[in-house]
Structure formats: structure tokens, C-alpha cells
Chain A
Amino acid sequence: MSTQDGNRERLALLQGTLDLLILRILLLRREHGQGIARAIQDRSEDVILVEHGSLYPALQRLEAQRLIQAEWGVSENGRRARYYQLTPRGRKAVAAEASRWRAMTAAIGRVLGPALAEG
């Protein structure tokens, strides 16, 4: 899921992580697909690169799980876009998932140790 866009080395996304990122973005505001992709890239300071296309199966999956819902709207610059927003269920899920994620990254950090973690 990596591309050769730009010179900077970018991280491929771990499976399942994308769902969490999408939910986290939508916690702030309702957003369309392109906006979500852009937000992920911006907030990760361009370290994480999401192939925009891969976003849609994830969105679809979340929609099927009733964590998010969608409706067509109009963007700031007047284009038609499909906006996603969290459902109450999604809100609960994002909190739970985020804390799990933090616990896991902390654990991985401890396993790797300070030297490697810095490298």
C-alpha cells in the first residue's frame, strides 16, 4: 500500500489501522472521502500515505458495521460529495479502539527498548 510519491520514506499502513484513523478523523467533523484521505496525510505530517482508493472499501466496511453513516452533500467549493459521519455506535467504538491502540503501541515500545525506539 505504499507508493513512490515524493522522496520521503513513507510507512505502509498496518491492517486495521486505517479503520481507526478514519473513525478518529470523523470524531472531529463530518467529512467526505477525499477530505479524510487528506486529513490523515496532514495529521501524520505526510508520514502515513493512504492510497486514496483503499479508503473506500474501508468506508464501506465501517458503513456495513453501522459505525458510520453517509449522505450526499455539497463541499465548500461547491462540489457534490458523499459525507460520512459517526453513528453513536461508532463514537463508542472509536474510544475503545483508540485506548486499545495506545496500550498496544506502548507495549511494543517497551519491547523494543529505548535505543531501538529512538533509531
Chain B
Amino acid sequence: MRFRMRSDQDFADEIGAHLDLETDRLIATGMAPAEARAAALRAFGNRTAVRERFHEARGRVLLEQLLQDLRYARRALRRTPGFALVAILCLGIGISVNTAAFSFLNAFMFRDFPGVVRQDELVSIQIGQETRWGRMSPAQVSTVEWGLLSEGLPAFSGIAASHILPLSVATGGEPQAVRGALVSANYFDLLGTVPAAGRFMRAADDPGDLAGVVVLSHAWWTRHFAARPDVVGQVLTIGTHPFTVVGVAPEGFFGLYPGEMIDPDVGAAEFFLPLAAAPLLRPASPSTEPATGLDDRWLQVIGRLRPGATLAEAEGQASAIAAQLAATWPVERPGAFAEIRTGNNRSRDAAELLTAMLFVMVVPAVILLVACANLANQLLARAIQRSREIAVRLSLGATRARVVRQLLVETALLAVLAGGLGVVLARWLLDALRAWALALPSRVPIDLRVLGFTLGLALLTALAFGLVPALRATRTDLAHALKEGAPGSGYRRSRLRSALVVVQIAASLALIAVSTVFVTAAQAPPSRAREALADRAILVALNLDLVGFDAATGSDYQDRVLERLAALPGVVAAGRAPFAMFDMLGGHPMTRAGQDPGDPDFNDLAPVSGDWFGATATTALRGRLFSPAERTGPPAVAVVDEVLASEMWGEADPLGQALRLGPDSAATLVTVIGVVPARQEVAYRQPEGVVFIPGDLEYRPRTFFYVRTACDAEAMVATVRQAVAGVDPRVPILWARTLEQVEAKEMSPLTLTASGLASLGVVALALAALGLFGVLSFIVAQRRHEIGVRVALGATRLDVTWMVVRQAVGLGAGGVVLGAALALAAVTLMRAVIHGLQPLDLPIFGAMSAAMVIVALVASALPARRAASVDPMATLRAE
């Protein structure tokens, strides 16, 4: 609108012109110039008021009022720095936890991953087929399909493939196991990644000479080359071959699949090598169909949709390729079909991740709620203290809306400051988590979206928890409030405040109670056998693919290591298995006598070599374990655990039963000779039926050696390492850990949850105690007069103290009752989701409840003393 464009100056000019014209006119009627000027001014009236109305009309007024409110708020907060500090700290802590949690969500769900541009355009392309068990669509394709896909999908501006694999690299004499990725030459181009140094492989230089190049991760570059740019051209020995460094990936880059690229043991991928290097680094798969290579599904295929191309188009083209596959290879690819997965390649199971994150967001929300209850409580108390000031403002003509707005601006200012603090704390929290608890390739970023979330959250809390106090504060009976003292009105208010305190105590108690459930689960020894092993066992992890052993040399090497370990002084028993203590094994098809081979059961198959049962201190419940003679040659006997025994044969005797390990009649047949206790599982996982067989059905390059020691295992780790390295120094040891360490690592989700919940619970408890203290102090101040009268009428100090303490205990007890209900509900819910959690331990819960009440008592100490020291004469005289 035109009038909005007018400047202050233009308006002032108009008023000036008006005054001049009027003065002129008055002079023309015969007035003296000075007198005429004065008369003109008088006739005009209040110029400031006019200018103000001009501003107001221009809409600038809101902003100015806001600024004025802000200035006023700043002054008001400065007058009470204690209140401001406590409020900002409480709310800041509450917000920081939420900001940190949201930052995770943001990093994995909303943001493009490090080094990836326009991630939303990226899709993964899969080729599925009919199988015995229905339509299956594995994430990887074979070389054959990769060839067809990379040629036949014009709807994509590019198709790239990658393969994650373990690698061994020689660094300073000792071989080191790292994670690497084989990528097609256009991989980085397709993702839009920019190198931190040097260059990436290029589509143009794919054939031949490209095989010998490597791109380093930023982390490796920093760690081993001090981020020097002259790293380009250096030669590294990876596996057994030399590779020339051509470039460095950007910081934090991990491709598209965090779950695969980041290994919990060895970290994120450090080397990116061309697909052409696959024959040098990747052992030939023991494929049953080597001629076509169709059984070897190893490549993960991603594509970027061409601008303007639709998903339907892309799906049509991919389906045509699938049809072609099905026609050419009806045996290997029956009913082949194509599947294009959008979901931004964020996570394999985005839904699961989201659920987990939302689960994670619940606790921060509780903390924020406690912090907000605290803030509301403080605001209510503050409103009482300021009732006179507010009454004065209202009586001087400020509208209620204006005063409410003023109070809200004050709360919002607090909240925004708290949000700032929250961001700083969240940054610290995220870095601390990354340093101590979680394997993340890069810092979890705090970007504009996170800042926006934090600001929004802060303002929302300010509005939600500042509005009621503000409305209450302005609902004052003016005449009443302006008078000194004004007792009585406080009771109604303190009821709300008491309720808030009860909620705070309840929430913090519930948090701590839930955390104890996790602590119990994390510490519970699942079996007596494990207890016996606690500090008497060592696990060593190897992957023989890293050094390119074939089945014969690999098996031979495994046997030699096992022999060497068994012969070590101080070793009681040594065994070997293709799984670590708590690994999930994956189902293997098996049938019992009389069962249709076409409809097998799937159960865990645990091939164990050497004296594995001895090394893990496993004893037979019934029957016997493998004899040394049975441990050599193809497996003919089996030991099952009690879970499988009851699943397979129910009440019948499992001993002597036959099991066929495979889908067809040619598969190995074994006889059950013993039953062992359920596999020592991690608390939060459901135990599953296991079949143990001596030796193995096939050669497996990934292998774990189990050593049981006579004395402290930790002291033996170095010896065991040496012994393994002594057999063949080229083989890198992935890790060698005591069983305790392995267990701690496996339990870390539980312990992390437990310690997280517990520390948040303590924070919440501190907030609650502060809130309780505030309410009690306030009540004492409000009842000062009443207390004075009581003392004057003969109440002793003890009576008065008891009065306050009783109130504290009452609030504490209310909190405990509500908290118990909350905790019970939460634990019931979590037990439904997480296996192995015990119900709430009543003695522990009782002790915690008592502790809560004690906290309430401590919080009441000072207010009670203050009440006891009320001088009856002074209060009565003040009337």
C-alpha cells in the first residue's frame, strides 16, 4: 500500500507544511508572527501523539513494542539474576537433550550424508527372484546383472555399484584389518562427492591400469599422513598388492549405507578401490555355479534419476531387464523381477531407525517436561512476587493483553537464552557421545534445521508454560494486590504449584526406576557357566580372506593356530567357531526324521572345532559332548541346546534322534548325542534353538578362536596374540579380547541406555528438588502471617517445623505414588519390546522411593527453618 511507503520525514514535512500554512493564515488576519506560530501549534494539538499514531498505523508499532518488551524483560531479568540463571539452566538442560536427540534424527533422516548431494534423487536397484520360500529380493546383484543394469537404464543419469569388504593393510610392520569398499569408477561422480585432495577414479579410466589405485578416507589420511597433500602418489600394500593413492574422500564420507560402511569393530571404510581390483582383493566365492557367476551376488547398485524421468519409467526399464534375465537363465533367476527402492538410501530399515529414534525422543521429552514444570513453577512464584508491579501497570492503564504479552516476551527471552545454552550443551553432548559411546564417522552436525527445531521448541515451551502463569498474574484484584501483604490468594495458586512439583518428582523417579531395570539387565549373569568364565576366557577374531587364503591353506592355517593355542602354557582348553560368543548365527534349514525335506525348520547351526565346549565351559545336561575322534572328519553327530530339543521333539527324548542339515536328501545327516543348556545369549535377545556340530560343513574364512585360561585372562591376551601372529605374521588380527570385554561391548546398548537414563533421572531429580524447595519457600512466605499467629497462640518451633516438613513429605509421597504408576507402565511397555528385562525390583524401587522422600526432606530443611524463625511480634505488628 502506498501510505506504507511514506517515511517519517515525509510525514514530518506534511505537518511542518500544515503549521506554516496555518501561521501564514493567522498572520494574514493581523496576528504577530510569533503569536500566530504559537496559535497554530496550539490548534494542531499534540504532535507526538499524532506521530505515534502514524507509526502505529504503519505496523511498525508491533516491532517497537516487542523491542520495548524485550528491553523491559531484560531489565526485569537482570533485577533477579538468580531466578534468570536457574530458569535458563533448567530449561537449557531440558532443551539440550532434545536438541541432541533431534540432531541424530536430522543427520540420519533429513540431511544429505557427508559428501553426498541431492540424496533424494538416489535409489537402490535390486533384482529379485522366485525361491523355494517365495519372492526374495536380495540387496546385491551379480556381475551379470550389473552389466545389464549399467547399460539398460536410460531413465538414470548414472548407475554405480559398490561392494564393502574387509581389507588388510600393512602399516609399520604389523598387518591391520580395515574396512574398504570396491566402487565402480563413476561412484563418486554419481554421489556428487568432491575429493578433499587429489582426485577420484573416473569413468574414463576404468579399464586396465585403474586396478592399482586407491582413494583414502579423510580419517586415514589424517591419521597416517597428517593430512599432507603429497599423499597422492604414495603406494600402500593392501592385502598382498601395491596400490597407488590418487585422492582422499571428504571428511566423514561413508557412502550411503551407514550400517554397512561403519563396522563396530574396525570403524568406517578407510579405502575406496575400483571394482577392477576385485580379483586382487576378493577371494573367489565358493559358488556352486561358477560359470555364470549368477550365484555370487556381491554388488550393491544405486542410481540417480535423470531430471524429468519418473520412477515408473525407471521401473519399466528395470523390469524389462529382469524379464530378459528370467528368459535367459530360467534356472538361476526364475521369475526374476526388479525392485527400485527410494527411501533416499538413508538406512536399510528406515522405519526401524525412526522407531528407535522416536523411542529415544521420549526420554528427552520427559526431561523437558520436568524442566518446563520447574519453569512454570518459578514463573508462578515470580508472578506472586511481582503482583504489585503488575497491579500498578494495570492500574496505570496498560491493557491486560499488553501485560500478558510483556510477561510472555519475558518468558520467551528466557527460553531463547536457554535454547542457546541448549545448543551449546547439545554440541558438547554429541561430541562426548561420539568420543565415548558411539562409532560415528563424523560429528553429528548441528545445522539450521536443528537450530530451527531448538528455537521452535524453546518458543513453544515459553508459550505453553508461560501462558498460564502470565494469565494468572494479570488476573489480580487490583485494589487487593495494591494493599500490603494480601494473604489468602496464594493458596489457590500453590495447589497448581504443588501439582507441578508432584509431577516432577514422579517423572524423575520413573526415569531412575526404569534405568535400574536396564542396569539389572546389563549386569545379570545369564548363566552359571558364563560366571565361571568371567575372567578366564579370550576370543581372537580373524578373517582369512584378508590375506587371500584359499580353502585348503585356510583350513590348514586354522588347524595350526588351534594346535598352537591349545599347547600354550596356562591354556585349559582351546576351540574355534565361525561366530563370536554373542553373534547371531542365522537360520540353517534342517529336518528331523519323517519331516518333509521341502518344508524344513530353520535353526541356528553352530559348527565348533577343537574343544570349543571346554573353552566356553559348557557342560552337557544330558548325553555327552563330542569325543576327540568325532571332532575330525565330516560331522556325523550333533549336540543340541535345550531350546531346540523342546522345539524339535517336545517331550520326546532328543538323544539318538537324527537331523538332516540341509534342504535335500544329499545333505549331511547327524545323530543327536547330547543336550546343553540354552546358548549363553545376551539378555535383550530371545534365546534360539542351536544345533552344534563338530568341525564344519564348509570352509569359512571368518573365524574366532576361543581360549580358556587357568589364570587371569587379561594377562594372557598378549601371549595369545603372539602365538597367533607366530603361526603366520601376514594374517591381521581383527581383535583379541577377554570374554568380559566382548560381553561389555555386546551389552553396551543396555549399559548405555541404563547410564543415560540414570543420569537424566538424576538431572530430573535435581530439578524436582529445586522445584520442591521453591514451592515450600513460597508457601512459608505466604503463610508467614498465619505462622506468626500460631506461634503467638502457643505453637512451638517444633510444631511449625513439622508443619512445613509434613507438606514436603506429602508432596514427596504424592510424587512417589504417581512415579510408581509411571514406572510400572513404562517398564511393562519396555518389557514388551525388549526381551530379557526383569520387572521392577520392588526392594530397589522402595529404596529409591525412600531416597525421594529424603530428597524432599532436604529440600524442606531451609524453608522449615525459616518458618521456625518467624517472629510472631514482627509479623503481627506488620498488619
Contacts from A to B (Cβ < 8 Å): 3, 5, 32-35, 37-38, 51-54, 56-57, 60-61, 63-64, 69, 75, 77, 79-82
Interface pair A64/B18, CB less than 8 Å apart: no
The one of B2, B3, B24, B44 that contacts A53, using a Cβ cutoff of 8 Å: B44
Q: Which residues of A contact B1 (CB under 8 A)?
A: 64
Q: 1/0 per position for B35-68, CB-CB distance to A under 8 A?
A: 0000000111111011001100100000000000
Interface pair B50/A34, CB less than 8 Å apart: no
Give me 28 A-to-B residue pairs in the complex whose CB atoms sit less than 8 angstroms apart, sorted by A's number: A3-B43, A5-B43, A33-B17, A33-B18, A34-B21, A34-B22, A35-B21, A37-B43, A52-B18, A53-B15, A53-B44, A53-B47, A54-B45, A56-B11, A57-B50, A57-B54, A60-B3, A60-B53, A60-B54, A60-B57, A61-B57, A63-B3, A64-B3, A69-B2, A80-B13, A80-B17, A81-B18, A82-B13
Within the complex, the shortest CB–CB distance from A14 to chain B, in Å, comes to: 18
Given contacts A3-B45, A53-B47, contact A32 B18 (CB under 8 A): yes
Q: Which residues of A contact B2 (CB under 8 A)?
A: 63, 69
Q: Which residues of A contact B230 (CB under 8 A)?
A: none
Would you call B14 an interface residue if the criterion is a C-beta within 8 Å of the partner chain's C-beta atoms?
A: yes
Given contacts A63-B2, A64-B1, A64-B57, contact A51 B17 (CB under 8 A): no
Besides A53-B44, A56-B11, A64-B3, 4 other CB < 8 A contacts? A3-B45, A34-B17, A37-B43, A51-B45
Would you call B206 an interface residue if the criterion is a C-beta within 8 Å of the partner chain's C-beta atoms?
A: no
The A-contacting residues of B in range 96-122, CB under 8 angstroms, are none
Q: Which residues of A contact B53 (CB under 8 A)?
A: 56-57, 60
Contacts from B to A (Cβ < 8 Å): 1-3, 11, 13-15, 17-18, 20-22, 24-25, 42-47, 49-50, 53-54, 57
The one of A53, A61, A69, A82 that contacts B17, using a Cβ cutoff of 8 Å: A82
Given contacts A32-B18, A33-B14, A52-B18, contact A79 B24 (CB under 8 A): yes
The one of A56, A75, A77 that contacts B15, using a Cβ cutoff of 8 Å: A56
Interface pair A79/B20, CB less than 8 Å apart: yes
Q: Which residues of A contact B11 (CB under 8 A)?
A: 56
Q: Which residues of A contact B54 (CB under 8 A)?
A: 56-57, 60
Q: Which residues of B contact A81 (CB under 8 A)?
A: 14, 17-18, 21
Closest to A56 in B: B50
Within the complex, the shortest CB–CB distance from A37 to chain B, in Å, comes to: 8
Which 5 pairs of residues, A with B, have the shortest CB-CB distance?
Answer: A53-B45, A51-B45, A34-B21, A53-B50, A52-B44
Within the complex, the shortest CB–CB distance from A89 to chain B, in Å, comes to: 14
Interface pair B57/A77, CB less than 8 Å apart: no
Closest to B4 in A: A64
Q: Which residues of A contact B15 (CB under 8 A)?
A: 53, 56
Q: Which residues of A contact B57 (CB under 8 A)?
A: 57, 60-61, 64
Complex Cα distance, B11 from A96, in Å, reads 30
Given contacts A63-B2, A79-B20, contact A56 B14 (CB under 8 A): yes
Within the complex, the shortest CB–CB distance from A65 to chain B, in Å, comes to: 10
Given contacts A64-B3, A79-B21, A81-B21, contact A51 B43 (CB under 8 A): yes
Closest to B15 in A: A56
Complex Cα distance, B724 from A31, in Å, reads 104
The one of A5, A32, A64 that contacts B21, using a Cβ cutoff of 8 Å: A32
Closest to A78 in B: B24
**Interface hub of B11, B42, B46, B50 (most chain A Cβ within 10 A):** B50
Complex Cα distance, B584 from A56, in Å, reads 82
Q: Which residues of A contact B45 (CB under 8 A)?
A: 3, 51-54
Q: Which residues of A contact B43 (CB under 8 A)?
A: 3, 5, 37, 51-52
Complex Cα distance, B768 from A61, in Å, reads 54
Count A-B pairs with CB separation below 8 Å.
76
Q: Which residues of B contact A54 (CB under 8 A)?
A: 45, 50
Complex Cα distance, B17 from A82, in Å, reads 8
Interface pair B21/A53, CB less than 8 Å apart: no
Complex Cα distance, B17 from A118, in Å, reads 41
Q: Which residues of A contact B25 (CB under 8 A)?
A: 34, 38
Complex Cα distance, B43 from A64, in Å, reads 25
Given contacts A52-B45, A54-B45, contact A75 B50 (CB under 8 A): no
The one of B13, B14, B21, B47 that contacts A75, using a Cβ cutoff of 8 Å: B21
Complex Cα distance, B49 from A34, in Å, reads 18
Q: Which residues of B contact A35 (CB under 8 A)?
A: 21
Q: Which residues of B contact A60 (CB under 8 A)?
A: 3, 53-54, 57
Q: Which residues of A contact B42 (CB under 8 A)?
A: 3, 5
Complex Cα distance, B24 from A34, in Å, reads 11
Closest to A80 in B: B17
Within the complex, the shortest CB–CB distance from A6 to chain B, in Å, comes to: 11
Complex Cα distance, B45 from A53, in Å, reads 6
Within the complex, the shortest CB–CB distance from B52 to chain A, in Å, comes to: 9
Q: Which residues of B contact A52 (CB under 8 A)?
A: 18, 22, 43-45
**Interface hub of A5, A61, A64 (most chain B Cβ within 10 A):** A64
Q: Which residues of B contact A80 (CB under 8 A)?
A: 13, 17
Closest to A66 in B: B1
Interface pair A51/B21, CB less than 8 Å apart: no
Given contacts A54-B50, A56-B54, A79-B24, contact A34 B18 (CB under 8 A): yes
Given contacts A33-B14, A60-B3, A61-B57, contact A53 B20 (CB under 8 A): no
Q: Which residues of A contact B21 (CB under 8 A)?
A: 32, 34-35, 75, 77, 79, 81
Closest to A38 in B: B25
Closest to B53 in A: A57
Closest to A52 in B: B44
Complex Cα distance, B1 from A52, in Å, reads 25
Complex Cα distance, B26 from A77, in Å, reads 13
Q: Which residues of B contact A56 (CB under 8 A)?
A: 11, 14-15, 50, 53-54
Closest to A62 in B: B3
Within the complex, the shortest CB–CB distance from B691 to chain A, in Å, comes to: 86
Closest to B57 in A: A60
Q: Which residues of B contact A63 (CB under 8 A)?
A: 2-3
Given contacts A54-B50, A57-B57, contact A79 B17 (CB under 8 A): yes
Complex Cα distance, B51 from A54, in Å, reads 10
Closest to A61 in B: B57
Complex Cα distance, B19 from A79, in Å, reads 11
Given contacts A53-B49, A56-B54, A61-B57, contact A32 B22 (CB under 8 A): no
Q: Which residues of A contact B13 (CB under 8 A)?
A: 80, 82
Within the complex, the shortest CB–CB distance from A35 to chain B, in Å, comes to: 7
Complex Cα distance, B14 from A33, in Å, reads 8
Closest to B58 in A: A60
Q: Which residues of A contact B44 (CB under 8 A)?
A: 51-53
Complex Cα distance, B145 from A69, in Å, reads 74
Q: Which residues of B contact A64 (CB under 8 A)?
A: 1, 3, 57
Closest to A33 in B: B18
Q: Which residues of B contact A34 (CB under 8 A)?
A: 17-18, 21-22, 25
Q: Which residues of B contact A53 (CB under 8 A)?
A: 15, 44-47, 49-50
Q: Which residues of A contact B20 (CB under 8 A)?
A: 79
Complex Cα distance, B430 from A78, in Å, reads 73
Complex Cα distance, B26 from A34, in Å, reads 12
Within the complex, the shortest CB–CB distance from B327 to chain A, in Å, comes to: 74
Within the complex, the shortest CB–CB distance from B773 to chain A, in Å, comes to: 53
Within the complex, the shortest CB–CB distance from B383 to chain A, in Å, comes to: 36
Q: Which residues of B contact A51 (CB under 8 A)?
A: 43-45
Complex Cα distance, B15 from A68, in Å, reads 18
Within the complex, the shortest CB–CB distance from A78 to chain B, in Å, comes to: 10
Interface pair B18/A77, CB less than 8 Å apart: no
Within the complex, the shortest CB–CB distance from B519 to chain A, in Å, comes to: 67
Within the complex, the shortest CB–CB distance from A88 to chain B, in Å, comes to: 16
**Interface hub of A38, A53, A54 (most chain B Cβ within 10 A):** A53
Complex Cα distance, B15 from A81, in Å, reads 9
Q: Which residues of A contact B49 (CB under 8 A)?
A: 53
**Interface hub of A37, A38, A60, A77 (most chain B Cβ within 10 A):** A60
Complex Cα distance, B18 from A54, in Å, reads 12
Q: Which residues of B contact A5 (CB under 8 A)?
A: 42-43
Q: Which residues of A contact B24 (CB under 8 A)?
A: 77, 79
